[in-house]
């Protein structure tokens, strides 16, 4: 497997920034967005192997963002990150085309293993 590319989309800026640092230490090419619009802008002109997408964004519903990003990059795999107490948001994301979901807080190694697994 070549170098992975990951887009992290979450409106919690500290979460995104920390996750990007940790992914880079693993040799992952990555970028972050703090909103649905930011994610769409990052997706323009380039593809990512995996998008980690929070379902609750400040500016837009995560399922709508998922559908738009999939239309922009059909070969990209999507992993849902959900901070909800239940897994219902993650299952809804899978219903919209995501390959899997993880509940936050998630241990970094578990998240990294899932990223590698879906590629």
- pLDDT confidence of residue 2: 61
pTM of structure:
0.92
Q: Which domains does the chain have, with CATH numbers?
A: 5-118 (3.40.50.2300)
Residue 31 is predicted with a pLDDT of 97
Q: What is the pLDDT of residue 3?
A: 87
Task: Map the chain to HEC letters.
Answer: CCCCEEEEECCCHHHHHHHHHHHHHCCCEEEEECCHHHHHHHHCCCCCCEEEEECECCCCEHHHHHHHHHHHCCCCEEEEEECCCCCHHHHHHHHCCCCEEEECCCCHHHHHHHHHHHC
Cβ contact 65:33 at 8 Å: no
Question: According to the model, what pLDDT value does residue 93 have?
Answer: 73
**pLDDT beneath 50, residues of the chain:** 1
End-to-end CA distance of the chain: 8
- pLDDT value at residue 52: 97
The answer to whether 104 and 81 have CB atoms below 8 angstroms apart is: yes
């Amino acid at each position: 497997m070549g170098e992975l590319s990951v887009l992290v989309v979450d409106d919690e800026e500290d979460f995104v920034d920390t996750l990007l640092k940790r992914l880079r230490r693993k040799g992952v090419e990555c970028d972050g967005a703090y909103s649905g619009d930011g994610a769409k802008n990052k997706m323009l002109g380039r593809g990512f192997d995996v998008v980690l997408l929070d379902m609750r964004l400040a500016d837009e519903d995560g399922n709508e963002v998922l559908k738009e990003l999939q239309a922009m990059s059909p070969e990209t795999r999507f992993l849902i990150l959900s901070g909800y107490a239940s897994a219902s948001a993650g299952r809804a994301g899978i219903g919209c085309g995501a390959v899997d979901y993880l509940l936050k807080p998630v241990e970094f190694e578990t998240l990294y293993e899932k990223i590698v697994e879906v590629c």
